[in-house]
Structure 1
Amino acid sequence: MAMTRSSGFKVGMGIAIAALAGSQKAAAQTPMLSVDPSQLPRLGTIDERFQSYNVEMVEVTGGRFWKPYRASASAPSAHGAVNAGNVPAGGNPDLYEYRKPVDLSNRRLRALAAALAPAYMRVSGTWANTTYFAESDEAPSTPPNGFRAVLSRERWKAVIDFARAASAEIITSMATGPGVRDAAGLWQSDQARRFFAYTRSVGGRIAAAEFMNEPTLAAMGGAPRGYDATAYGRDFKAFIAFIRASEPDVMVLGPGSIGETAAPQSSRPSSSEFINTRDLLAASGSGIDVFSYHHYGAVSQRCSPGQTTPEAAVSEAWLASTDRTRAFYQSLRDEFAPDKPIWLTETAEAACGGNPWASTFLDTFRYLDQLGRLARAGVQMVAHNTLAASDYGLLDETTLRPRPNYWAALLWRRVMGTIVLDAGVHQGVHLYAHCRRGIRGAVTLLAINTDRTTAAILRLPVASERYTLSADHLQSAEVKLNGAALELAPNDDLPRLAAVTSPPGPVEIGPTTITFLDVGDAKNPACD
């Protein structure tokens, strides 16, 4: 049927009205935030070494750690290796693969770690519970009875030298397995005493120590059969007495628990396989200088397929798990160790080495959001697991080249200071604020847009310097800063992290992007 001029006009008007309605609907759906950086109140402060990292003890000694998802045909042989058989108690050997000790003298590794300074370097992990420290420069060829691995003096000296080069303070934990116990099963301090004495003799320093790595999972960590909260309390008191008498400058961290927020918190009684933290704290009494805990949002598909998916990696439920764990352990801190600082001494995307996407930009949302949440909640230190091992490492374990989370860590280190501000809670974007590192009165905002399709608009009354992290696709191993790929320059020099100036007014935070906004002219009195 032919269309008249009048009907065509009506159709055209209809299309125009529909388009206008659609644009208005889209505009209504776009989150609009207004923030005045000069008025953001101070919440508190965090440790100068807030952003820290782990180096697993098994990396230092060499031994069996998480097997890559695509195991290399050229993986080193375990034949003849002192620490070749050291897997956690009850662990499935098929999940592990032998690795040589990490080369802590590597120039690239040292330079990239130093760029994150100052930091704490935690050398611990499940393997530390059953690692023997050599009595002399001649390390034994096999672990003594009751141990699963050998830490030579040469390898520990490499840790001390690395920490010095990277401006890192060392955190560690003690051997607690059968090898350090007398006939009655009581923990003895001989190994610990030798360990600390050697550290001092070569000019090193241990800043802080946990007694045992993850005592909630003591059986998995190699504790004697039937080990319970009473035994832990007895051993912990012996450890405290040793530290106070012999190493009074060392901070005692504890308990370093994990695993209680995956099930209803009040319905998980202690057993031979799991000791709950309340029982540990009740048995051990006072003595800790810092309350420590661990957090993983899930176990990776390497160990338990299906616990989490890439689709869930930017969901609120996934990101909020760090708050749930922190709140649980903070409540125990408040009850048993009131007013003590709280540290998260081990965390990453997922336990068991991380999921395949832990090494991609997809996990950077979790990494930075976790730092923002925990700083806002008053947690003083967060140690990412690991610096350069397995899928969750900040650096690729083979090439030692930065992964997306490393670049995020570097940006955080450059611009986020130790004074935490209250940026409020906003619909549609996660917003955090700190005083700018090194510039009086200046404020840095961190805006994380986890929406996969919709941008957010952030209105600022003053100009800002913008650093936006993005990727061509979320599971990319390459990350871009303001549209340019980040990569090491020749000679492994770090690239210049160049900002783009945004004038006063609206700043668009694109879908699934992360933006740091440096507001140098904020004149916030909390930042003076």
Structure 2
Amino acid sequence: MGIQIRLMGRCSWIYYLLCLCFIVVNVEGDATENGSVLIHGKSLIGKIDDDFVCATLDWWPPEKCDYGRCSWGLASLLNLDLNNKILLNAVKAFSPLKIRLGGTLQDKLIYGTEDYHHPCTPFVHNTSQLFHFTQGCLPLHRWDELNSFFKKAGAKIIFGLNALAGKSFQSSYAVGPWNYTNAESFIRYTVKKNYIIHGWELGNELSGKGIGKSISADQYASDVVALRNIIQNVYKGVEPKPLVIAPGGFFDANWFKEFVTKAGKSVDVVTHHIYNLGPGVDDHLTEKILDPSYLDGEASTFKSLKNILRTSATSATTWVGEAGGAYNSGHHLVSDAFVYSFWYLDQLGMSAIYDTRTYCRQTLIGGNYGLLDTKTFIPNPDYYSALLWHRLMGRQVLTTSFLGTKKIRAYAHCAKQSQGITVLLLNLSNQTSVQAKLAITFVKVPYERKKLREEYHLTAQSQNIHSQTMLLNGNILSVNKDGDIPPLKPLYVDPSKPIVIGPLSVVFAHIPNAIIPACT
């Protein structure tokens, strides 16, 4: 019956749903359910950048502590070991990886350029200061070292500028125009050295009510216009010019609408941040991650921001500029463990549906939510989830749903750099396996008769979702003695068989002969 349905590629979508209602969601024993992945093959629902996956590097010193735990170590942009082989190989594996340089302390950062006539000193912990740290300085020799690493690794850099420079504080508000003198000098130095910057972002979490301080939408728009003018002037004769990005804050519909309207063509990318799981100290993070209703909650933010851009005169796109899930540095053995891939991959899939072009994970390294372990640099499970997404999920996003248990999350894209489509399936159930058949409308050829399906099954070591070790098709993923990232090899499966998603597992499935109009 499943094969018959898959061959009915030209039947209408409504007819499809009616047919499938009679044949799926049959429980076969206590531990297995059947279901169907429904994919509309004629039109796209969204698009992402080819380098959609992005990660962040932050400024936090070792003294940054949360709830009595200090998880940042030497992961700051000022002290990170740029000679570590694993770090280099981890970034190079993406070819390229977008890296956003920024975070809370970027709005207290001075650049040690010719115009700064003071000692260039690092951040110092001081609880009486905004964000509990003094002003810090980026020495130009360190900026040179960072750019040498980025060039070697093939990274695309987004740099977050200090948006509080020159402003006065009135209660929780930062008022007055941006003093861009030091920032402009830094940008000029960067251009003089031929360092390639993909985008300059202004400010961190100063939108809406802000974190620590906030800037009105009207003033923020004026400051972004000033940044645009600097970029046009300093990069005169240089193409393509870097993107102008803002505001890098939490979504507030009224604030964002006013900002987008007043910034006009001066802003290329509108960024927002996501920490929808709450504080890292929360003992219920795992329950939230495995609750489909809770995961659904963030869709309203993506939808609202998409509508704001769609109904305005702007040509700007939207990015998630920073997302760590659980704020205040995450939670050890949750945000750096296998279980977090359910939240992370679901976020990637959901955001893509709403035309989010890039998604920046907090962090590449640092805190308890790094893709790499802060002390050892060894990749955490989410690193491999991110790398598989980057290699398999193409730019075109397909309308996808799952008919069956609500514990399955399903997303599909046109395949990346290859024929066909790639399906991502997450099983949030800790007891039930699901056998999923594919139902694709407008499919041009009977794909089950052609090439084998390529499957990547991700599970936790010893079935412990709080493990920091991930298995791919039953094999442990680990770097070798030279710090090389392991190859990510698929299983080859008879395409006439259903995709089996085990309890608490993730499956990427590439179907090379599912030829649909949306992908051609």
**CA deviation after TM superposition for structure 1 residue 99, in Å:** 9.8
**CA deviation after TM superposition for structure 1 residue 459, in Å:** 2.1
**CA deviation after TM superposition for structure 1 residue 40, in Å:** 6.4
Q: Contact 2:247–2:270 (CA<8 Å) still a contact in 1?
A: yes
Q: Contact 2:265–2:314 (CA<8 Å) still a contact in 1?
A: no
Q: What is the one-letter code of the residue matched to 2:224? A: F
Q: What CA deviation, in whole Å up to 9, does each residue of 1:369-414 have, x standing for no partner? A: 1111122222111111110111111000110000010011111122
**CA deviation after TM superposition for structure 1 residue 36, in Å:** 8.0
Q: Name stretches of at least 5 consecutive residues in structure 2 with no aligned partner.
A: 1-25, 124-128, 169-174, 439-447
1:407/1:470 Cα in 2 relative to 1: closer, same or farther (>3 Å)?
Answer: same
Residue matched to 2:34: 32
Q: Contact 1:349–1:355 (CA<8 Å) still a contact in 2?
A: no
1:252 aligns to 2:244 (yes or no)? yes
Residue matched to 1:486: 477
1:446 aligns to 2:424 (yes or no)? yes
Alignment partner of 2:335: what SS? helix
1:202 aligns to 2:204 (yes or no)? no
Find the structure with the greater CA-based Rg: 1
Q: Contact 1:139–1:150 (CA<8 Å) still a contact in 2?
A: no
Q: 2:329 aligns with which of 350, 353, 375?
A: 353
1:301/1:345 Cα in 2 relative to 1: closer, same or farther (>3 Å)?
Answer: closer
1:465/1:409 Cα in 2 relative to 1: closer, same or farther (>3 Å)?
Answer: same
- Partners in 2 of 1:98 and 1:201 — Cα distance? 25
Q: What CA deviation, in whole Å up to 9, does each residue of 1:124-155 have, x standing for no partner? A: 11111110100259982547999711101122
Q: Contact 1:180–1:189 (CA<8 Å) still a contact in 2?
A: no
Residue matched to 2:227: 239
Q: What is the one-letter code of the residue matched to 1:65? A: K
Q: Contact 1:38–1:522 (CA<8 Å) still a contact in 2?
A: no
**CA deviation after TM superposition for structure 1 residue 514, in Å:** 0.4
**CA deviation after TM superposition for structure 1 residue 367, in Å:** 0.8
Q: How many residues align?
A: 460
Residue matched to 2:136: 149
Residue matched to 1:111: 89
- Partners in 1 of 2:319 and 2:207 — Cα distance? 17
Residue matched to 1:470: 459
Residue matched to 2:6: none
Moved more, 484-493 or 383-392: 484-493
Q: 1:517 aligns with which of 501, 509, 519?
A: 509
Q: What is the one-letter code of the residue matched to 1:513? A: S
Q: What CA deviation, in whole Å up to 9, does each residue of 1:413-453 have, x standing for no partner? A: 222222222333433222211222222x3221111111221
Q: Contact 1:66–1:390 (CA<8 Å) still a contact in 2?
A: no
1:410 aligns to 2:410 (yes or no)? no
Residue matched to 2:360: 383
Alignment partner of 1:135: what SS? coil
- Partners in 2 of 1:519 and 1:219 — Cα distance? 45
Q: What is the one-letter code of the residue matched to 2:330? A: G
Q: What CA deviation, in whole Å up to 9, does each residue of 1:76-104 have, x standing for no partner? A: 8xxxxxxxxxxxxxxxxxxxx99971122
Residue matched to 1:392: 369
- Partners in 2 of 1:75 and 1:513 — Cα distance? 31
Q: Contact 2:112–2:138 (CA<8 Å) still a contact in 1?
A: yes
Q: What is the one-letter code of the residue matched to 1:414? A: R
The structure, 1 or 2, with the larger RCO (C-alpha pairs under 8 Å, 6+ apart) is 2
1:171 aligns to 2:158 (yes or no)? yes
Q: Contact 2:97–2:154 (CA<8 Å) still a contact in 1?
A: yes
Moved more, 344-353 or 238-247: 238-247
**CA deviation after TM superposition for structure 1 residue 475, in Å:** 1.1
Q: Contact 1:175–1:191 (CA<8 Å) still a contact in 2?
A: no
Q: What CA deviation, in whole Å up to 9, does each residue of 1:344-376 have, x standing for no partner? A: 111122121112310111110111111111222
1:427/1:191 Cα in 2 relative to 1: closer, same or farther (>3 Å)?
Answer: farther
Higher share in helix? 1
Q: Contact 1:64–1:99 (CA<8 Å) still a contact in 2?
A: no
Q: Name stretches of at least 5 consecutive residues in structure 1 with no aligned partner.
A: 1-23, 77-96, 267-275
1:449/1:204 Cα in 2 relative to 1: closer, same or farther (>3 Å)?
Answer: same
Residue matched to 1:79: none
Q: What is the one-letter code of the residue matched to 2:275? A: Y
1:192 aligns to 2:183 (yes or no)? yes
- Partners in 1 of 2:201 and 2:471 — Cα distance? 38
Moved more, 387-396 or 322-331: 322-331
Residue matched to 1:340: 316
Q: TM-score, normalised by structure 2?
A: 0.79
Q: What is the one-letter code of the residue matched to 2:162? A: A
Residue matched to 2:7: none
Q: 1:423 aligns with which of 396, 400, 403?
A: 400
Q: Contact 2:44–2:518 (CA<8 Å) still a contact in 1?
A: yes
Q: Contact 2:56–2:360 (CA<8 Å) still a contact in 1?
A: yes
Q: Contact 1:175–1:192 (CA<8 Å) still a contact in 2?
A: yes
1:334/1:254 Cα in 2 relative to 1: closer, same or farther (>3 Å)?
Answer: farther
- Partners in 1 of 2:503 and 2:398 — Cα distance? 25
**CA deviation after TM superposition for structure 1 residue 510, in Å:** 1.1
Alignment partner of 1:327: what SS? helix
- Partners in 2 of 1:69 and 1:484 — Cα distance? 36
- Partners in 2 of 1:483 and 1:361 — Cα distance? 14
- Partners in 1 of 2:208 and 2:411 — Cα distance? 34
- Partners in 1 of 2:268 and 2:147 — Cα distance? 23
1:98/1:363 Cα in 2 relative to 1: closer, same or farther (>3 Å)?
Answer: closer
- Partners in 1 of 2:56 and 2:81 — Cα distance? 15
Residue matched to 1:159: 146
- Partners in 2 of 1:375 and 1:172 — Cα distance? 23
Residue matched to 2:489: 498
Q: TM-score, normalised by structure 1?
A: 0.78
- Partners in 2 of 1:362 and 1:143 — Cα distance? 36
- Superposition map of 1:79-118 within 5 A: 101-118=79-96
Q: Contact 1:363–1:405 (CA<8 Å) still a contact in 2?
A: yes
- Partners in 2 of 1:525 and 1:335 — Cα distance? 28
Moved more, 248-257 or 366-375: 248-257
Q: 1:325 aligns with which of 301, 305, 309?
A: 301
1:206/1:453 Cα in 2 relative to 1: closer, same or farther (>3 Å)?
Answer: same
1:122/1:512 Cα in 2 relative to 1: closer, same or farther (>3 Å)?
Answer: same
1:319/1:238 Cα in 2 relative to 1: closer, same or farther (>3 Å)?
Answer: same
Q: 2:285 aligns with which of 309, 315, 323?
A: 309
Identity, in percent, stands at: 26
Residue matched to 1:277: 256
**CA deviation after TM superposition for structure 1 residue 337, in Å:** 4.9
- Partners in 2 of 1:289 and 1:109 — Cα distance? 30
Q: What CA deviation, in whole Å up to 9, does each residue of 1:240-281 have, x standing for no partner? A: 332333346121122222054xxxx67xxxxxxxxx434544
Q: What is the one-letter code of the residue matched to 1:470? A: T
Alignment partner of 2:304: what SS? helix
Q: Contact 2:430–2:503 (CA<8 Å) still a contact in 1?
A: yes
